[in-house]
C-alpha cells in the first residue's frame, strides 16, 4: 500500500489495495492511521457490491442511516446520492459537515462513485484543524468555551434546500426543526487536535450572543473554515472512493454538471458527542 499526499492541507491518494478483499487487521490499521493523519483518503479503480462497501465501512465502526433521507430499499445503510439530468440542486452542494444536527454526528463517510459526469461533479474538502491552527491566539481565546446551535431545518424542513432534489427521497420534515448544541471548537477524539466545528448548512447560531453578533461571528468563521489554503479537490472516476473524517473535515459537492447524471453510494460511520 502506498500513500501520496494530495495538497499541503489535507488528503492522500492510497494505491496498492483492493477494498473488495477481506482486508487483514493490519491493513485496516494502516488505513485508519492514514485516515487520522490525512483526514480524507482517496482510492481509485475499486469494484464494490453494496455488501462489500458495507463490510468495509463496518471495519471502522457501526454504520448509520440518514434521519431525513431514505436509504437504499435493499440496504438501508446505503444512501444513493443521485443527481438527475433535470435536477436544479444536488445533495451536499454547499460546505458542510455531515449531520451536525444530531447529538452524535457521524464519525466519517465512505463515498463510492458509480456514474459520474465526464466533466465536473468534483468534491472539495477543507481541513478544520488547519482552519483552527491558523487563527490568532486572541481569536482562539474569544471562541474558547463558545457553543453553537445546529439544525436540519434549513435543509430538510418543508421547502428546505435538500428537499428540492428529485432523486433524494427526503422524509420526516416535521422533525427537522429541532436544535442541538455543540462546541464551536471540538477536540478530535483520536488525534487530540482542535478543530473548528461550525458549518454553513446546519449551524444556526452561537449560544448567548445577540443575533447580529452571532451572524457576524459565523460569517467570519465560515470564511475561515473554507479558505482555499485549507482545501483539496477530488476528481471522480467510476470506481473511485473517498473516505473522510467528519470530525476534522468539511466537504462540498460541486454542482457544475447540470443536465448530466451522477450516482454515488455512501455509507456513514456512527460518531460520538463532540467535546
Catalog residues that contact ligand SIN under the rule CB under 6 A: 81, 91-92, 109, 111, 123, 251, 253, 264, 266
Distances (CA, A) of 198 to 11, 164, 181, 211, 225: 20, 24, 11, 16, 8
Q: How far is the CB of 169 from ligand SIN (least distance, A)?
A: 15
The residue among 151 and 250 lying less far from ligand SIN, judged by its C-beta, is: 250
Verify whether residue 66 is a known catalytic residue: no
Q: How far is the CB of 92 from ligand SIN (least distance, A)?
A: 2
Verify whether residue 137 is a known catalytic residue: no
235-260 per-residue burial string, b: 16 or more CB within 10 A, e: under 16: ebeeebbbbbbbbbbbbbbebebeeb
Closest CA to 169 of 62, 68, 64, 32: 68
Q: Which residue is nearest to ligand SIN (CB)?
A: 92
Surface-to-core class of residue 232, CB atoms within 10 Å of its CB (0-12 exposed, 13-18 middle, 19+ buried): buried
Which neighbouring-strand residues pair with 185? Answer: 196
Q: How far is the CB of 214 from ligand SIN (least distance, A)?
A: 25
Verify whether residue 164 is a known catalytic residue: no
Q: How far is the CB of 185 from ligand SIN (least distance, A)?
A: 23
Verify whether residue 98 is a known catalytic residue: yes
From 200, 247, 251, 262, the catalytic residue? 251
From 38, 66, 96, 247, the catalytic residue? 96
* Residues annotated as part of the active site: 96, 98, 251, 266
Amino acid at each position: 500500500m502506498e500513500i501520496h499526499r494530495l495538497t499541503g492541507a489535507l488528503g492522500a491518494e492510497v494505491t496498492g489495495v483492493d477494498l473488495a478483499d477481506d482486508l487483514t487487521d493490519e491493513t485496516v490499521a494502516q488505513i485508519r492511521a492514514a485516515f487520522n493523519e490525512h483526514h480524507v483518503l482517496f482510492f481509485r479503480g475499486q469494484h464494490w457490491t453494496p455488501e462489500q462497501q458495507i463490510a468495509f465501512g463496518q471495519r471502522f465502526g457501526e454504520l448509520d442511516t440518514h434521519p431525513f433521507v431514505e436509504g437504499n430499499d435493499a440496504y438501508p445503510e446505503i444512501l444513493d446520492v443521485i443527481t438527475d439530468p433535470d435536477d436544479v440542486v444536488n445533495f451536499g452542494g454547499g460546505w458542510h459537515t455531515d449531520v451536525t444536527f444530531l447529538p452524535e454526528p457521524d464519525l466519517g463517510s465512505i463515498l463510492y462513485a458509480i456514474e459520474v459526469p465526464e466533466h465536473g461533479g468534483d468534491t472539495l474538502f477543507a481541513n478544520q484543524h488547519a482552519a483552527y491552527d491558523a487563527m490568532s491566539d486572541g481569536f482562539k481565546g474569544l471562541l474558547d468555551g463558545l457553543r453553537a446551535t445546529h439544525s436540519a431545518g434549513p435543509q430538510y424542513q418543508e421547502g428546505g434546500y435538500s428537499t428540492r432534489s428529485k432523486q433524494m427521497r427526503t422524509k420526516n420534515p416535521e422533525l427537522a426543526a429541532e436544535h442541538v448544541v455543540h462546541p464551536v471548537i471540538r477536540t478530535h477524539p483520536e488525534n487530540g487536535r482542535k478543530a473548528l466545528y461550525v458549518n454553513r448548512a446546519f449551524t444556526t447560531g452561537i449560544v448567548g450572543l445577540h443575533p447580529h453578533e452571532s451572524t457576524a461571528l459565523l460569517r467570519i468563521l465560515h470564511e475561515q473554515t473554507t479558505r482555499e489554503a485549507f482545501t483539496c479537490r477530488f476528481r471522480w472516476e467510476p470506481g473511485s472512493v473517498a473516505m473522510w473524517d467528519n470530525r476534522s473535515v468539511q466537504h462540498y459537492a460541486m454542482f457544475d454538471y447540470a443536465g448530466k447524471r451522477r450516482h454515488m453510494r455512501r455509507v456513514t460511520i456512527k460518531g460520538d458527542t463532540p467535546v
